[in-house]
Amino acid sequence: MRYEAVIGLETHVELATKSKIFCSCGGHSAKGEPNTRVCPACAGMPGMLPVTNKRVVELAMRAGLLLNCQISRYTTFDKKSYYYPDLPCSYQITQWFHPICREGSVEVTTKDGARTIGIKQIHMEEDAGKLVHDDWTETTLVDFNRTSVPLIEIVSKPDFRTADEVMAYLEKLKTMFRFANISECEEGAMRCDVNISIRPEGSEELGVRTEIKNMSSLSSIRRAIQYETARHLDAVERGTETLVQETRRWDDVKGRTFSMRNKETAADYRYFPDPNLMPILIGDDWLRRVKDEMPASVEEKTAEYQSKGLSAKEIASLTAERVLCDLFDALISSGREPKEAASWILTECGGILRKHGQVMGELDIAPEKLSRIMEKVSGNEINRAAGRKVLEAVLYEGADPDEYCEAHDLSAQGDADAVRQVVLKVLDNTPAAVRDYLGGKKKAFQALFGGCMKELKGNGDPQVIRALLEEELAKRS
Amino acid sequence: MEILDLTAVELGERIRKREVSAAEAVEAVYDAFRERNRNLNAYAAFEIDPARTAAQAAQTLLDGGGASALAGVPVGVKDNISVKNCLTTCASRILQGYRAPFDATAVRKLRGAGAVPAGTLNMDEFAMGSTSETSCYGAVRNPWNVGHVPGGSSGGAAAAVAARECFCALGSDTGGSVRQPASYCGVTGFKPSYGRVSRYGLVAYGSSLDQIGPIARDVRDCAALMDVIAGADPFDATSRTFPDAGFLDALNGDIRGLRVGVPEECFGDGAEEDVKACVQEFLDELRRAGAELVSISLPFVRYAVPTYYILATAEASSNLSRFDGVKYGYRTEHYHTLEELYVRTRSEGFGKEVQKRILLGTFVLSSGYYDAYYNKALKMKQLIVDGFAEAFGRCDVMALPVSPTTAPKLGESLSDPLKMYLSDVFTVPANLAGLPGLSVPCGFDRNGLPVGAQLLGAVGADALVLNAGHAYQLATDWHTRKPEICRPPLGGDVAERQRGEAVENA
């Protein structure tokens, strides 16, 4: 008999907000020394009250729209009670009764073709802190930095059949969410619980289901699914063990899952509406605004850039990162030429970032500054080499392009008249070299060229210097 | 006349006229605390240094011309309202030594107006009780007879105000905790409309019911405090700004044509004869002042107590789950596992009444019981809200007793908790419906214990309720009566004698 796996996913995604979900602490969990990103509210001090970060609601709506969900017009926060030292209030604020999004779908493509995965719901919730075990002192410490960092949990229907589909789904969510500025989706910012059962192909009935909790790396998820599917098959086909509905933990080193056997699985979370947070009503205007503010998708951007004449390679590089698209679009709207803009971003900025050991996604420059540099170069105020120099100063010293050119005497360097003066000066001061060149020793040109470069402190445009030198030497022949 | 006989507003006037300094006022309260607190045990703690610092800040504000009605006036604060760097322990062992790292919004606003937070007032542990006997600091006593309770849970606040151990205070009211002790101690207490005063910094009991409210000598003092502490707060998502404002200015004492609803259910067998007689007198007085009495019916009131005890305990079980011994406050000395840490800390840290309510609340939220209890109570709450809204179509305010009885003897209530819970029947409806409720003294029973009358208004009609109470106080002098315990010679001997009588009676 042939069996198929039935897999469902609960995916927790950390939202890219400036602040936490119910207080004004910084939102990014991974940054900072332990317990430095914490305030009385997210530490659960007595008397503190949560206040909803509206941005979290909007990003959750945005995720729902991307996944073709119905957006709830009435949504509430509820308390989920359990005791654990990393949970300061001993309850987590989540959504149980009225989640913000329901009934969506997403298409995933694997080598076997495209399939549609149903989305049961998306809800908002706060993250918990972290326990740090110190083996040296045999103590356990709590770090509350991650407490109340905003999450959305995307609950899929049990529509996956293979690990490949799960991978394709997670990759797709990652790309979509990064591109729509919903989440940075970096290491640890996306965590999955995987539900697995198997059944004979064609059967409608579900087998015994196990849940593997809290995995964050894609390769672990793939291996865990493969392991767990095989374990279920062995149990069903060969009777190696009796499957029970339970929660399991994936051990990446041992390469297998273990029963967690904790009481948590049987816990009664005693969900009830949080009286401190009023129900959120999502009206037409708000929903429309969130739709209007939805950044264009990769597909839309690709089509747009094709029409602007960019190459497939340039388009792929730009659309790999939202920030690059935003920068490119800003340059275009301030009148820069598309091919040039792409080249400045990908070649010039890219080169400088690489030199400093950074990647494209980390590019952070005010578009008007880059635009100004490009303007100066295209207007021959400075040459391209000088432009690169200014760009580096802008990126790493926060310089202003005009002031920098002024202060470093760059502005004149591209100016042909100024260069001509330098060329004439060099020719006048080195008559021997001029004689040699005119006498047929073409090597002497290098000496003259070097002299000009030295005079220009290395900031001259080689082509311009070469042309002027040839022109002036011709006059003296 | 002793300075402590002044009302808060009178003291404020004297301070603005430079007849009394902010420092003198706070020292007067502190002296009263040191000399007389043992009589009533009204204070949980009195940290004089921060109070003196606050008085200095107030004086600076005054000297700079910032002169609100309460500038320089010391205000006692119930032990469950956060005062920065001061002990805020909810009269519970589990919060021993806990100092709030921030001011509650109400306290921050007091400081902003130049008022001086001075002393934390004793209470029932975590505001759970009607007698102020469940405090880890020991029971508070009633200044009119120390053999009796002062009511609760803001019993320390009411007793201190009545006994001239402070001028006025902030209490909290979840099911009557401001109004009922005010009634038992013969002072004035006001629970604002839900959302009128920010709960930020108030250690939560039942979040959908809790409100901070003033306890003072008279309505004018309550109005002056409300002027300072009311208003929407970005740190409390349930707080609101209502259209009416300027409570003190709105007190004109004119209630001609005011329709006062008299709920027939509240004058039946449930209430003691002396209480009913005093509240009847109260109604007559309102009529004499020009109000029109309207008989109304609130049939749903009989469901208020069970509804309240389901919702309040459910919310409490969740609100109090953060006290786990991990982060602050008390932690058991004997544990090996995490579970032991939790179980022992909470079993040793919480008193019996609190544990009882946590268990009750945990039960009603359990899966399988949620619909039968919590959900049903939520529906009942909505019916009560709707019922009141309808009743306020026929009247502007309602008048009823605060409590069916006067202050019971010490020890009497905790032995019969069901009776104690049922005695909340007249106060919990206002919390469930979010209504403003005022308690004003309106006489004494045959044993010389004070009786309080209650005025309720529709949501947001706080000023109207206060003005009706003010009109009554213009015509009567119950609110000026002073218990024997604070007449010279001060304290000791009267308390000793009453204590002796209490023992003999027992």
Return the H-helix or E-strand segment holding B506: none
User: Closest Cα of chain B to A262: distance in Å?
Assistant: 12
The per-residue pLDDT for range B453-471, each reduced to its tens digit, is 999 999 999 999 999 999 9
Higher pLDDT, A205 or B130: B130
CA distance A99 to chain B (A): 18
Catalytic residues of B: 78, 153, 177
* Structure letter (DSSP) for residue B197: B
Sorting pLDDT into bands at 50, 70 and 90, what band is B118? very high
Spell out which residues of chain A touch residue B313, defining contact as CB-CB under 8 Å: none
Nearest CA in chain B to A144: B327
Percent pLDDT > 90 in chain B is 87
Q: CA angle, B132 as apex, B130 and B134 as ends, to 5°?
A: 100
At A297 the pLDDT is: 84
pLDDT the model gives residue A411: 61
What contacts B399, CB < 8 A, 6 or more positions away? B260, B261, B262, B279, B282, B283, B286, B453, B454, B455, B456
Sign of CA dihedral A83, A87, A91, A92: negative
Question: Measured between alpha carbons, how far is B163 from B186 in angstroms, rounded to an integer?
Answer: 10
Please write the tens of the pLDDT for every residue from B365-421.
998 899 999 999 999 999 999 999 999 999 999 999 999 999 999 998 878 878 888
At residue B362, the 3 state secondary structure works out as helix
Angle of helix B22-40 relative to helix B492-505, nearest 10 degrees, comes to 30
Short-list B176, B178, B174, CA closest to B156: B178
**Tens digit of each residue's pLDDT (9 = 90 or more) over B37-54:** 999 999 999 999 999 999
Would you state the pLDDT for residue B493? Answer: 59
CA of A64 to nearest chain B CA: how many angstroms apart?
25
Residues of B in contact with A277 (CB under 8 A): 237
Q: Tokens 């800003």 map to which residue?
A: A330
Chain A stretch 77-116, residues whose beta carbon is closer than 8 A to a beta carbon of chain B: 79, 81, 83, 85, 88-91
Q: Which chain A residue has the Cα nearest residue B342?
A: A83
Question: Where does residue A134 rank: exposed (0-12), middle (13-18), buried (19+ CB within 10 A)?
Answer: exposed
Q: What letter represents residue A198's amino acid?
A: I
Contact indicator for B480, B161 with CB cutoff of 8 Å: no
Residue of A48, A79, A83 lying closest to B324 (CB–CB): A83
| pLDDT greater than 60 at residue B492 | no
Q: Do the Cβ atoms of A90 and B321 come within 8 Å?
A: yes
Confidence of residue B498 (pLDDT cuts 50, 70, 90): low
Can you tell me the distance from the alpha carbon of B453 to that of B438, in angstroms, rounded to the nearest whole number?
A: 8
Confidence of residue B501 (pLDDT cuts 50, 70, 90): low
pLDDT at B354: 97
Average pLDDT across chain B, whole number: 93
CB A201 within 8 A of CB A233: no
Decide if pLDDT at A264 tops 70: no
- Give the amino acid at B253: G
**Which range is most confident: A230-234, A320-324, A467-471, B293-297?**
B293-297
Which DSSP category does B191 fall into? Answer: E
Burial class (CB in 10 A: 0-12, 13-18, 19+), B50: middle
Distance between B207 CA and the closest CA of chain A, angstroms: 6
Token pair 């083996």: residue: A135
Instruction: Specify the higher pLDDT residue, A404 or B311.
Output: B311
Torsion of CA A72, A77, A80, A83, to 10 degrees: 140
Amino acid at B26: V
pLDDT band at B500 (very low <50, low <70, confident <90, very high): low
What pLDDT does residue B249 have? 94
Q: Per residue in A382-428, pLDDT tens?
A: 888 888 888 888 888 888 888 888 777 776 555 667 788 888 888 88
- Residue A455: pLDDT band (50, 70, 90) is confident
Nearest CA in chain A to B81: A47
How buried is residue B124: exposed, middle or buried, by Cβ count under 10 Å (0-12/13-18/19+)?
A: buried
Instruction: Please give the pLDDT value at position A30.
Output: 57
Distance CA B35, CA B180 (A): 27
Residues near A431 by Cβ (< 8 Å), separated by ≥ 6? Answer: none
For B205, which residue in chain A has the nearest alpha carbon?
A: A47
Q: Which two tokens stand for residue B302?
A: 């009989």
Look at strands B259-263 and B292-296 and give their pairing. parallel
According to the model, what pLDDT value does residue A380 have? 77
Question: Could you tell me the pLDDT band of residue A211, with boundaries at 50, 70 and 90?
Answer: very high
Write the CB contacts of B464 (distance below 8 Å, at least 6 apart in sequence).
Answer: B244, B258, B396, B397, B457
Handedness of CA A235, A241, A242, A247 (dihedral sign): negative
What CA–CA distance (Å, rounded) separates B354 from B368? 24
- Residue B98 at interface with chain A, using a CB cutoff of 8 Å: yes
CB A115 within 8 A of CB A131: no
Q: What is the 3-state secondary structure (H, E, C) of B143-188?
A: CCECCECCCCCCHHHHHHHHCCCCCEEEEEECCCCCHHHHHHHCCE
Among B104, B234, B327, the residue with its CB nearest the CB of A43 is: B327
Q: Which of B76, B259, B104 is nearest to B170 (CA)?
A: B76
Name the burial class of residue B331, with classes exposed (0-12), middle (13-18) and buried (19+) by CB atoms within 10 angstroms of its CB: middle
Superfamily name with CATH number, domain B3-256+458-505: Amidase signature (AS) domain (3.90.1300.10)
Return the pLDDT at A412: 52
Banded pLDDT at B506 (limits 50, 70, 90):
very low
Q: Residue holding tokens 């996604």?
A: A361
Is residue A224 within 8 A of residue A231, CB to CB? The reply is: no
Q: What is the CA radius of gyration of chain B?
A: 21
Whether the per-residue pLDDT at B86 is higher than 90: the answer is yes
Q: Phi and psi dihedrals of A261, rounded to 5?
A: 45, 35
Q: What is the pLDDT of residues A61-87, one digit of tens each?
A: 999 999 999 999 999 999 999 999 999
The token pair that represents B108 in the structure block = 């921050």
8 Å CB contact between A257 and A232: no
CA distances to B22, B135, B223, B484 from B215, rounded to whole Å, are 20, 19, 10, 20
Identify the structural domains of chain A with CATH numbers, from first to last. 3-281 (no CATH), 296-407 (no CATH), 416-476 (1.10.10.410)
pLDDT at residue A362, as a whole number: 84
Whole-prediction pTM: 0.86
Dihedral angle of Cα B487, B492, B493, B497, to the nearest 10 degrees = 110
Burial string for B263-284 (b: 16+ CB within 10 Å, else e) reads: bebbbeebbbebbbbbbbbbbe
Q: What pLDDT score was predicted for residue B78?
A: 98
Q: Do A272 and B314 touch (CB under 8 A)?
A: yes
Q: Does B102 touch chain A (CB under 8 A)?
A: yes
Instruction: Give the amino acid at A472.
Output: E
Q: Does A85 sit within 8 Å of B238, measured CB to CB?
A: no
The DSSP 8-state label assigned to residue A181 in this structure reads T
Cα gap A272→A275, rounded to integer Å = 9
Q: How far is A148 from chain B (nearest CA, A)?
A: 15
Cβ-contact B93, B136 below 8 angstroms: yes
Instruction: Please tell me if residue B104 touches chain A, with a CB cutoff of 8 Å.
Output: yes
A131: Cβ contacts below 8 Å, ≥ 6 apart: A85, A86, A140, A141, A142, A143
Count of beta carbons in the 10 Å neighbourhood of residue A124? 27
For residue B489, cis peptide bond before it (omega within 30 degrees of 0): yes
Question: Where do the domains of chain B lie?
Answer: 3-256+458-505
Q: How many A-B residue pairs are in contact by the CB < 8 A criterion?
A: 94
